[in-house]
């Protein structure tokens, strides 16, 4: 079947968890600018609503609402509101996630100081927090025999990156879950349902700013080590995720499912030599 502009995402209804955060809100702005209707969900409802209001001021379509990715009834309620407003959901981006201070191993410590409670919390947010929304929204997509889900992995999924033990384990599980769900959906519900992930390299955000940059903007030891391992020699800009997200959501990727796309300036490809 020949599609005139297979990259066209105009009118697609795209729900984003963690849409009030740095990366999710940037994706929401971009997708709305391309004619998509975006549903921005966040635990911090005020962020999601403010973002949607900003987008709507440009004459683009957006709704902001509260949704906790760890609470099924909260997600079902959000889905109802989105369907009432836009009629259906075409795509879900699981952008809620992130590291938690208690689940990391400090430079003067070791693995035996790990708090299992913190490990469990970070695992829940970064793994269950993508599984549960993909069940709630996925069921809706299955009923329509069409839909695309994008998970957010990380450079920590494939290689050991010091300190972030719980976050890394959960992101590694996201890679596997992305492949698993892609196969499950295609095998049982047909080729209209796709599940993929992006694996961002290093983007300065609220969670990692202090780890990577000193207050004067110069690199910390960890920041310098990352730049050294990145052939392009810099951190990413949040806007640099948008092209891949756009492609994965569009008809242009209609035979693409179960992949994890690194967007990392070469970090994951480089041996360091």
Size of residue set near ligand NAD by CB under 6 A: 30
| Listed residue (157, 154, 129, 147) closest to 41, CA to CA | 129
Q: Kindly state whether residue 82 participates in binding ligand NAD, applying the rule CB under 6 A.
A: no
Q: In the set 12, 13, 15, 17, which binds ligand NAD (CB under 6 A)?
A: 17
Do the beta carbons of residue 179 and residue 119 sit within 8 Å?
no
Helix 116-123 to helix 165-189 angle (10° resolution) is: 30
Each residue 91-110 as x (binds ligand NAD by CB under 6 A) or -, in order, gives ----xxxx------------
Q: Where are the beta strands (DSSP E) in 140-269?
A: 147-152, 193-200, 260-263
What is the C-alpha separation between 240 and 27, in angstroms, rounded? 10
Least CB distance to ligand NAD at residue 171 (A): 7
| Six token digits for residue 122 | 């970070």
252 versus 268: smaller Cβ distance to ligand NAD: 268
Q: In this complex, which beta carbon is closest to ligand NAD, that of residue 102 or of residue 190?
A: 102
Q: What angle do CA 252, 256, 262 make, to 5 degrees?
A: 100
Q: Which residue is nearest to ligand NAD (CB)?
A: 21
DSSP letter (8 states) at residue 18: T
CA distance 75 to 35: 24
Where do we find the tokens 């066209």?
8
The 10 Å Cβ neighbour count of residue 271 is: 5
Mark 32-71 with x for binding to ligand NAD (rule: CB under 6 A) and - for no binding. Answer: ----------xxx--x-------------------xxxx-
Is 263 a residue that touches ligand NAD (CB under 6 A)? no
167 counts as catalytic: yes
- Please tell me which residue in 30, 167, 177, 270 is annotated as part of the active site: 167
Residue in 119, 137, 202, 267 binding ligand NAD, rule: CB under 6 A: 202
Site residues for ligand NAD per CB under 6 A: 17-18, 20-24, 42-44, 47, 67-70, 95-98, 125, 129, 152, 154, 200, 202-203, 205-208
Just list the catalytic residues: 167
């Amino acid at each position: 079947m020949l599609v005139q502009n297979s990259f066209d995402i105009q009118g697609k209804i795209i729900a984003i968890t963690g849409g009030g955060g740095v990366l999710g809100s940037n994706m929401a702005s971009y997708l709305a600018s391309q004619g998509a209707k975006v549903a921005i969900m966040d635990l911090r409802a005020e962020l999601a609503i403010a973002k949607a209001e900003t987008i709507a001021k440009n004459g683009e379509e957006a709704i902001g609402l509260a949704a906790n990715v760890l609470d099924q009834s909260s997600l079902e309620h959000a889905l109802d509101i989105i369907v009432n407003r836009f009629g259906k959901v075409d795509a879900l981006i699981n952008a809620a996630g992130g590291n938690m201070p208690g689940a990391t191993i400090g430079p003067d410590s070791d693995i035996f100081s790990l708090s299992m409670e913190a490990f469990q919390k970070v695992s829940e947010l970064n793994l269950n927090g993508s599984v549960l929304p993909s069940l709630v929204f996925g069921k809706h997509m299955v009923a329509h025999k069409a839909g695309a889900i994008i998970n957010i992995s990380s450079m920590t999924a494939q290689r050991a990156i010091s300190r972030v033990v719980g976050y890394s384990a959960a992101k590694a599980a996201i890679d596997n879950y992305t492949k698993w769900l892609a196969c499950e959906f295609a095998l049982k519900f047909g080729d209209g349902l796709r599940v993929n992930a992006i694996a961002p390299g290093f983007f300065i955000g609220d969670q990692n700013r202090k780890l990577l940059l000193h207050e004067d903007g110069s690199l910390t030891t960890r920041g310098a080590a990352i730049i050294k391992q990145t052939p392009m020699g810099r951190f990413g800009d949040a806007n640099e995720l948008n092209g891949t997200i756009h492609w994965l959501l569009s008809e242009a990727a209609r035979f693409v499912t179960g992949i994890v796309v690194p967007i990392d300036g070469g970090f994951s490809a480089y041996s360091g030599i």
